[in-house]
Amino acid sequence: MKSRTIAVISAHPDDEILGAGGTLIKHRENGDKIIWIIGTEINERIGFSPERVEKRRLEIQEVSNKLKAVTYLLGFDTMSLTGLDLPKIINKVSKIFQKEKPEIIYCLNRSDAHSDHRILFDAVMSCTKSFRYPFIRKVLMYECISETEFAPQLQENMFIPNYFVNISSHLEEKLKLMQVYSSEIEAPPFPRSLENIKALARYRGSTINQDYAEAFQVVKIINE
């Protein structure tokens, strides 16, 4: 299989591993170029300690190195995105897409409980118009445990998994990557526990007769 350029978008570091970690590992093993776009950041100005800010910087660096990803930090304050930020986010994402020309986009689910996720989804979708970004052939939304399942399951915006990736051989590395974000993990029944991340992968795997899988919802696939 020839190598491709793919882009994964996180509102916050750890979204990418929760939703698509095993899939990203498969892309790395295929020799694909991984573009990782992180929408928000923590900083001292909004109340985070210098130690926590530095820890987060090191977490991003470690995950980026292990995925062999090219990482872009958009730099917006965490837990603060609103519709007013959309023009600036769209401008930044558009420039990255035009520079890197990703073929596949992995994006947050449009109806996640966290508003940062929803705003970033809207911005990314503005950067997938085929007449302006003809190199994009596939756009997929990923589910983010602790956000996707807590969103209102209304008919018009619920997450409907219809695209699956077998990650049976990559689950253990996915869990190790998640452990880099140690402050985001707690014991069950907390959703972002290693046990529940594994349980979701087992459940998604059962849908396709595999041990473990990640599920996505198709936004667009263009076949020639």
User: For residue range 41-73, what is the model confidence (pLDDT) as tens digits?
Assistant: 999 999 999 999 999 999 999 999 999 999 999
Order of strands across the sheet that contains 104-108: 69-77, 33-41, 5-10, 104-108, 138-142, 213-221, 163-166
- Hey, is 23 helix, strand or coil? helix
What's the pLDDT at 204? 98
pTM confidence score: 0.96
Residue 199 has pLDDT above 90, yes or no: yes
The mean per-residue pLDDT over the stretch 195-212 comes to 98
Give 83-120 pLDDT, tens digit per residue. Answer: 999 999 999 999 999 999 999 999 999 999 999 999 99
What's the pLDDT at 134? 97
pLDDT range class, residue 153, cuts 50, 70, 90: confident
Mean pLDDT over the full length of the chain:
97
What's the pLDDT at 151? 94
Q: How many helices (H) and strands (E) does the chain have?
A: 6, 7
Give 17-43 pLDDT, tens digit per residue. Answer: 999 999 999 999 999 999 999 999 999
Residue 224 has pLDDT above 80, yes or no: no
* Bond from prior residue into 161 cis (ω within 30 degrees of 0): no
